[in-house]
Amino acid sequence: MKSEACRLDRFISQNSDFSISDTRLLIAQKRILLNGHVAHSIQQKVTKFTRVELDGHCLKDLSPVYLMLNKPRGVVSATKDPKHTTVLDLIRHPQKDELHIVGRLDFNTTGLVLLTNDGAWSRRISLPETKLAKTYEVTLSKPLNDEYIAAFREGIYFGYENITTQPAQLEILSENSAILSLVEGKYHQVKRMFGFFQNEVLSLHRVSVGPISLEGLEVGQSRLLTQNELAATESHGPC
């Protein structure tokens, strides 16, 4: 994983008229502030979201953004598309052009999409080892039965990749509808899992990612994640 941090002296040399060797003197004169605190070492790390001030001038100030969107049908999970509306087109936020998508949804799949400018957070959220369940409402063309529950719990074999999906939890709601929770996000995974039974997915709607729920958010609307929601994701982590 590529580091998003660099040493303070290197950052100063790259973002000001001072050299790497000048940084020690700047620190001694208390002319550098990191997140509002006087810098104390040339080896301090400057991360993507560190606010750096030199002689009262801000050299870098980028705030992390964690946002959720209720994606409508027919919207592309992309930041740019010449033909279709993208998820970014639906967002009103001053830093929206910095955001990337955490777990894309297909063109006709609806529901919860997470966006952020924090690469470390999105990588952790996406790891199967984090055990952060993605939960979907699914409508199928054919009736469901208990064979689906057992097969999803054991894992479905995908011959093309020669892999077996991790255990998933399926709750049958009615003859043709179910709630599915899984921790992976492989290409078209939900449709392919039901395709194992030659059962076409008619509609797919993601309602939650771990503790983050779509409840109360209208279709096409977005909002920032709360501190409680962010804290709840921190309780999940790779084993």
Catalytic positions are: 106
Q: What does DSSP say about strands 201-209 and 110-116: parallel, antiparallel, or unpaired?
A: parallel
**Which DSSP symbol is given to 160?**
T
CB atoms inside a 10 Å sphere around CB 82:
4
Q: How many residues does the chain have?
A: 239
Tokens found for residue 224: 């920032």
Question: Closest Cα partner for 138 from 160, 169, 115, 163?
Answer: 169
Q: Where are the alpha helices (DSSP H) in the chain?
A: 8-15, 23-28, 119-126, 146-154, 189-195, 227-234
Which amino acid is present at 212?
Answer: I
